Amino acid sequence: MEIQKLNKEIRTKTFEKMKKKSPKQLTTSWYQDDLLYAGTGKTIFIIIPTIGCSWALGDSGGCTMCSYISDSHFKPLDTVEIFELFVGEFEKYELTENTCVKIFVSGSFLNPIEVPIITRYKILKYLSKKKHVKEIVVESRPEYITKNVLKDVFSCLGDKLFELSIGLETSNDFTREEKINKGFSKEDFEKSVETIRSLKNSYNIKSKAYILVKPILTNENEAIEEAIETAKYCERVGVDRVSFTPITIHKGTLLEQLWKKGSYHPPWIWSAIEIINETRKNVSIPSFMDTSGFGSRRGPYNCKKCNKILKNAIIESNIKQSLIEGINCECRLHWIGDKKSSSLNRSKTTIKHLPLI
């Protein structure tokens, strides 16, 4: 596939230029208010280093928008060292009654090549003994989600809630395969959701889908429609929660190359608001809008006057699961113009000098 060739070439050049970081430098964490399954609480996010996402390291070059591979170590890590780095981050925080721990590995937590089984076992066993930790969230591609692996997870975790987040990105197969280069089908995704659902009687297990907002070669209008449609699809197939990820331009990706040439623009924050409002009106499972990168040069952007106000409104609405209403700004007209012109001419890039309305 042409896109995979291009992707691999860009990836290889990026690897050559990359400065190698130590496992300690690659480890980080933060703490914030969140809406847990048990209600409002706090989440500790911990990023631990691994050898790197197998999909990104393979011949396909990985997904066109993702540079998490730059946060990887490329070489196998000592299993005790990864565990100790994890514990070092976890112990920085004082736990409250309702605490969730999200473990990010810049790839798939359930892939034994990325996270060795012994490391997975040690981390989950450690968390199972923490009284205030009520929920544990990890990410994985569908191919690593099997009944046996999940049973193994619960043999460590007992009755704690375990959520698996899967990067579906979109329910549109063409977009997922040809624009994102995700490398799995809707059927693969549905099979994983079904595996999770089939274990619900025995274990406290949940699923979440990530939905990408505005992949490459997608205009503003298409991006909004596809994201809302995907959330509806997720509810239909039995996903427990959805989380939208509007694009931020990652370094060393095909997406970045298109952006540099003026052939891609991150979504408007107004689009993120339309997506989350429409989803909350039409879909009954909880929905979240990730605001990382909002208001930055490489991220979703409106204008200097309203970026921050809207970002804060979205963060608050994620906790309350409420609609975002009653905020206006003059840049809204430009967004409406952009949406209308992109529907008229099907262009994927920003058009200049068109009448706004």
Binding region for Zn ion (CB under 5 A): 302-303, 305-306, 329, 331
Residue 160 interacting with ligand SF4 (CB under 6 A): no
Q: How far is the CB of 53 from ligand SF4 (least distance, A)?
A: 3
Q: Which is nearer to ligand SF4, 54 or 204 (CB)?
A: 54
Stretch near ligand SF4 under the rule CB under 6 A, chosen from 3-11, 63-71, 130-138, 230-238: 63-71
Interatomic CA distance for residues 191 and 175, integer angstroms: 20
Residue 53 interacting with ligand SF4 (CB under 6 A): yes
Per CB under 6 A, contacts with ligand SF4 among 96-125 are 106-107
User: Is there a contact between 266 and 301 (Cβ–Cβ < 8 Å)?
Assistant: yes
Q: Which is nearer to ligand SF4, 167 or 266 (CB)?
A: 167
| Residues 6 or more apart whose Cβ sits within 8 Å of residue 6 | 61, 254
Residue 270 interacting with ligand SF4 (CB under 6 A): no
Helix-, strand-, coil-residue percentages of the chain, each rounded to 5 = 45, 15, 40
Kindly tell me which residue out of 3, 26, 44, 66 binds ligand SF4, with binding defined by CB under 6 A: 66
Residue 157 interacting with ligand SF4 (CB under 6 A): no
Tell me which residue of 208, 211, 331, 219 sits closest to 266, measured CA to CA: 219
Q: Which is nearer to ligand SF4, 106 or 218 (CB)?
A: 106
55 binds, among ligand SF4, Zn ion, none (CB under 5 to 8 A by kind): ligand SF4
- Beta bridge pairs of residue 101: 44, 136
Interatomic CA distance for residues 47 and 29, integer angstroms: 6
Q: How far is CA 321 from the centre of its chain?
A: 18
* Helix (H), strand (E) at residue 50: none
Kindly tell me which residue out of 26, 46, 51, 63 binds ligand SF4, with binding defined by CB under 6 A: 63
Burial 247-258 (b: 16+ CB within 10 A, else e): bbbbebbbbbbb
Q: Which is nearer to ligand SF4, 53 or 110 (CB)?
A: 53
Q: How far is the CB of 286 from ligand SF4 (least distance, A)?
A: 22
Kindly tell me which residue out of 68, 83, 233, 270 binds ligand SF4, with binding defined by CB under 6 A: 68
Backbone angles phi and psi of 188, in degrees to 5: -60, -45
Q: Which is nearer to Zn ion, 130 or 334 (CB)?
A: 334
